[in-house]
A and B are shown apart, each in its own frame.
Chain A
Amino acid sequence: MRSSFLALAVAAVLALSACSGDDDDSSGSADERPTTSTAAPVEAEVALTRGEAVVAGAGGDIALDEPTRQAAVDAAQQYVDAAMIAPLTDGAVPEEYAALFDTGVQASAIAADRAVLTDEGIPAPTETPTITATPVRIDGLAAADGTLTFLATTFSVTVDAETASGPVAVRRNVELTYAPSGSTWLVTAYRVTVERDIADAGTSTTTAAAG
């Protein structure tokens, strides 16, 4: 009977896992519009929302508490604001960007993988861009006593912008894995894929992974 129950339990978990895919938004194509004059500072923002949360535990799966869910989304929001929004509004990523990563991956995040992880260098928007994001899926890995060892956020962000040189479309699929560092969570591994369609530079897809 116990084995039957366990079989049912396994089936239930597998079924739940099978239903836990991400909601991917298809990237929107920018309208063809006349270019405007010189770029001026624009406003841009996107508010990430919480998606499904699943914690795999060494002692069995556990539920993720509310504050930790919010902490995970906040950490993802910090990345989006620094890596994607700031380049649109200020033309560069802020200094705080580097502090989002732990020492294991910081060097690659700020140098070798910077062009994939951030939108620094893309043409400046001439009007408020359209930015959409999928709900943030949260995954966790817990030790046998329930202590969270890692958190991860998975989401996609799409940007459609008008620039002086024509429309720009960016779609970024983001997986960020965080390890606890004091009272905060720092990115300890990442896997990011960015598709860019820039008017006079063509289409490109690049991926960066570390950790």
Chain B
Amino acid sequence: MKKFVKRTLIVLVTLVVVIALGTGGMVAAWLAGIRIPFASGATWMQIEKVGSADAAGTPTDTFFIALIGNDAREGRGGARGDALHVVGINPTTNTATMLNVPRDTCWNGGKINRAHAQDGPRGQADALGQLLGVNITYVVSANFPEFQAMVDGIGGIQIDNPHSMNDANSGAFFDPGPQRFDGWGALAFSRNRYNFSRGDITRSENQGLVILAALRTLQGEGKGPAGEFKTAALVARHAQVEGMGLAEVYRLGRIAFRLDANAVRSVTIPVGGGNCLNLTDAASSLFADFADDATLQTH
């Protein structure tokens, strides 16, 4: 018994000393100027350049970005697109429009979100581009844990919740009104569909609120080069980037910083009811209005 107590004490003391030395060492390293990434190793998203665009100089051409939330979770393969949005940006006017696509939207004889399960983010972006009639240049995708980490990593987001939410499936129990969401809350807010008569359609609208709230939060990091560099570095630390370099990430961020987040139109595409949501007749004119200059003139 004595031997056991002695061994336990030795282990405990060793543990305390190691932790103390480790912490002291890290603090010393910090003070010495060695900077440690905010959340070393944590991935928040994947960014892939899938089309051509020149963000150098003063870009004038409209371009489109697919924002995809997928439902990949541990032990579950074949992730589908759970949140589907396409943002059109017009750098000439510094304006943007976001079309929210319900995941149950019918496309090519099935739900559009299956494209992600078949061909990943790039395949999902292709499907969205074909549906809306635009060429997608960039794809940004995140799964559930990545999304949570991202929202937590930027310190939460402020959303004016338009609904009363009481949904055990998603874990969304929120009063209406302005409130701050952490990663878990933002995910629950984004996933809730059972509280709404329009189900997936209202959920898509809510996801649009989350995206614009995240944009406002990042813009709030600071105007000017300091804020822009800080944000670009933050994204670079936490994103797996394909097909583009840090310079392009920065230039895209600079364009995003110029947008007035409060003026970005967030429009959910017109679909009917049922299990597989078919586009209504109003869709084609909306898509044409969106595709020409990423600005809605007649909608």
State whether B38 touches A150 (Cβ < 8 A). no
State whether A60 touches B35 (Cβ < 8 A). yes
Cβ-neighbour of A60 out of B36, B56, B226 (below 8 A): B36
State whether B225 touches A57 (Cβ < 8 A). no
State whether B237 touches A59 (Cβ < 8 A). yes
State whether A104 touches B58 (Cβ < 8 A). yes
A10 at the interface (CB under 8 A from B): yes
A140 at the interface (CB under 8 A from B): yes
Interface size, A (range): 35 or more
Distance in angstroms between the alpha carbons of A12 and B154 in the assembled complex: 15
Distance in angstroms between the alpha carbons of A104 and B183 in the assembled complex: 39
Cβ-neighbour of B38 out of A1, A9, A108, A142 (below 8 A): A9
Q: Do A149 and B246 contact each other (CB < 8 Å), given the known contacts A1-B23, A137-B226, A139-B229?
A: yes
Map CB proximity to A onto B198-232 as digits: 1 under 8 Å, 0 otherwise. Answer: 00000000000000000000000010111001101
Distance in angstroms between the alpha carbons of A59 and B236 in the assembled complex: 8
State whether A150 touches B35 (Cβ < 8 A). no
Q: Do A9 and B36 contact each other (CB < 8 Å), given the known contacts A57-B233, A105-B58, A189-B254?
A: yes
Cβ-neighbour of B247 out of A56, A154, A175, A179 (below 8 A): A179
In the complex, the chain A residue whose C-beta lies closest to that of B221 is: A17
B250 at the interface (CB under 8 A from A): yes
CB of B55 to closest CB in A, whole Å: 10
Q: Which residues of B contact A175 (CB under 8 A)?
A: 224-225
B12 at the interface (CB under 8 A from A): no
CB of B110 to closest CB in A, whole Å: 39
A40 at the interface (CB under 8 A from B): no
In the complex, the chain A residue whose C-beta lies closest to that of B231 is: A56
Q: Which residues of A contact B57 (CB under 8 A)?
A: 102-105, 188, 210-211
CB of A103 to closest CB in B, whole Å: 7
In the complex, the chain B residue whose C-beta lies closest to that of A210 is: B58
A71 at the interface (CB under 8 A from B): no
Map CB proximity to B onto A168-209 as digits: 1 under 8 Å, 0 otherwise. Answer: 000000010101000000001101000000000000000001
CB of B224 to closest CB in A, whole Å: 6
Q: Do A144 and B38 contact each other (CB < 8 Å), given the known contacts A1-B22, A150-B229, A211-B254?
A: no
Q: Do A211 and B247 contact each other (CB < 8 Å), given the known contacts A6-B39, A13-B38?
A: no
Distance in angstroms between the alpha carbons of A177 and B253 in the assembled complex: 14
A164 at the interface (CB under 8 A from B): no
State whether A57 touches B35 (Cβ < 8 A). yes
A20 at the interface (CB under 8 A from B): yes
B173 at the interface (CB under 8 A from A): no
State whether B23 touches A5 (Cβ < 8 A). yes
In the complex, the chain A residue whose C-beta lies closest to that of B222 is: A17
In the complex, the chain B residue whose C-beta lies closest to that of A62 is: B35
State whether B233 touches A58 (Cβ < 8 A). yes
B176 at the interface (CB under 8 A from A): no
State whether B232 touches A56 (Cβ < 8 A). yes
Cβ-neighbour of A141 out of B38, B39, B232, B258 (below 8 A): B232
State whether B36 touches A56 (Cβ < 8 A). no
Distance in angstroms between the alpha carbons of A146 and B234 in the assembled complex: 14
B30 at the interface (CB under 8 A from A): yes
B13 at the interface (CB under 8 A from A): no
A143 at the interface (CB under 8 A from B): yes
Distance in angstroms between the alpha carbons of A60 and B147 in the assembled complex: 21
Cβ-neighbour of B224 out of A59, A103, A154 (below 8 A): A154
In the complex, the chain B residue whose C-beta lies closest to that of A103 is: B57
Cβ-neighbour of B236 out of A12, A144, A177 (below 8 A): A144
Distance in angstroms between the alpha carbons of A190 and B226 in the assembled complex: 13
Q: Which residues of B contact A (CB under 8 A)?
A: 19, 22-23, 26-27, 30, 33-40, 56-58, 222, 224-226, 229-230, 232-234, 236-237, 245-247, 250-251, 254, 258
Apart from A62-B35, A175-B224: 10 A-B pairs, beta carbons within 8 A: A1-B23, A5-B27, A9-B36, A58-B237, A60-B34, A141-B229, A141-B246, A143-B246, A189-B254, A211-B254
Q: Which residues of A contact B (CB under 8 A)?
A: 1, 5-6, 9-10, 12-13, 17, 20, 54-63, 102-105, 108, 137, 139-144, 149-150, 152, 154, 175, 177, 179, 188-189, 191, 209-211
Closest 4 CB pairs of A and B: A104-B57, A152-B225, A58-B236, A56-B233
CB pairs A–B below 8 angstroms (5 shown): A102-B57, A143-B236, A152-B225, A189-B254, A211-B254
